[in-house]
Amino acid sequence: TGISYGPGILILLTTIPKVGPVVLFIVWVWILISVTRAIEVTHGVSLLKAAVPGFIGWFLAWILLPVLMLGSFFFSSTDLGS
């Protein structure tokens, strides 16, 4: 399933004004679909059984991990009410 993250290189195109957010959304959906399909084929399970771990991995890779890694650069302890 690692090759399913290959389209992630297209995220470099998000630096283009006005087109960037659209490209980012398309890449996110593309990766989610390709990872789910890869899990389905590789493990021989149904689409629903493949979608659950596919979505969890996608969420961790694209949403949670960047927030945890870069969150301290965007939020200081004074911003959070501490």
pLDDT digits (tens, 9 = 90+) for 20-67: 889 888 988 888 899 899 999 999 999 999 999 989 988 887 777 677
Tokens 């493949």 sit at which residue?
50
- What confidence tier does 14 reach under pLDDT thresholds 50, 70, 90? confident
Q: Are 47 and 41 in contact (CB under 8 A)?
A: no
Are 54 and 35 in contact by the 8 Å Cβ rule? The answer is yes
User: Which residues 6+ apart lie within 8 Å of 46 measured at CB?
Assistant: 40
